[in-house]
Structure 1
Amino acid sequence: MEVETNRFGYDLIRNDVLRDLLGKDHDTILYWIGKSLARKYPVPTVEEMITFFEEANWGTLARIKEKKQEQLFELTGEWMNKSDQRCYQLEAGFLAQQVETWNNCISGATYTEKNGLILIKIETDKKDTIK
């Protein structure tokens, strides 16, 4: 029961409090908070990022495609496809910043919901290096 209680509290803050507090800028701010968190909690490998997501209760992460300038991640969680209405900009921003740090090139992320899971696409501009 403790896990459910913790999830309930987390969901209240994530889905209700933050949305009310941030208003129309909610999604954009969460994306940039995700990037900021990635700078505070850098992870050097995909495997460690997967572990970070599990420990943060953000869900189960898997990289399902990797190309030269694009990576596709799949995020699943037991709460998905139910009454949960969260956006996943926090996770998208976090992933974008980690990939940006790994490649030393500007990276951005977008996500889509499909069949009860979240697909997060990270695009990296290899010509736009970080100085």
Structure 2
Amino acid sequence: MNKYEKFRKEHSDSPFWGIELLRDSLLPDLLDQDIHDILYWGGKDLATKFPVASNDDLQAFFKQSQFGNLELKKENIKKISWKLSGPEVETRLKLNKDPDFMLEAGFLAQTKQQIDQISTECEATIKLNSVNFNVVSDPNAPVNNPSDFKTINIAK
């Protein structure tokens, strides 16, 4: 059974086929071994185009963008831990041997960097039905947002 048949059989009423088609079928073929790096930087770029103002807005943005349900697990000055779950994530994990969540990781890193204005990176760890993200900041490495930086208003 091919990926399309498997998807339709298990998720016939799911609206995620378009995302699945692009994220886990086309992009891996186009980007090959560079997929993780390119999608990470792509996520950072998206965060500069769609900057959110808070963790609540970030969670709403992830849901509206069909990335999944983003849940804050732990936060301190240097590190924030997130869990990404939901049907979008479960579908991608079931259908793919090596699903990539670096787009989301890059988005999380850049968003935290823009909010706190300190250098930040993110690491993703795939679990059984979810993905954990550890966003680590360096309080000793300040960065400045562009002078025209303005967050978007998230509809909730």
- TM-score, normalised to structure 2, is 0.78
5 Å-filtered alignment, 1:27-42, equals: 27-42=36-51
5 Å-filtered alignment, 1:19-30, equals: 19-30=28-39
Please say if 1:63 is aligned against 2:64: no
How many residue pairs match? The answer is: 130
- Structure 1 residues not aligned, in runs of 5+: none
- Structure 2 residues not aligned, in runs of 5+: 1-10, 145-156
Could you tell me which residue of structure 2 aligns to residue 82 of structure 1?
94
Larger Cα-atom Rg? 2
Give 3-state SS (helix, strand or coil) of 2:71's partner. strand
- TM-score, normalised to structure 1, is 0.93
Identity %: 30
Could you tell me which residue of structure 2 aligns to residue 99 of structure 1?
112
Give 1 or 2: higher strand fraction. 1
Distance 1:98 1:27 in 2: 18
Distance 1:2 1:42 in 2: 34
Displacement of 1:3 after TM fit? 5.7
Displacement of 1:29 after TM fit? 0.2
Please say if 1:72 is aligned against 2:84: no
The two structures, once aligned, show a CA RMSD in angstroms of: 1.6
Structure 1 residue identity aligned to 2:21: L
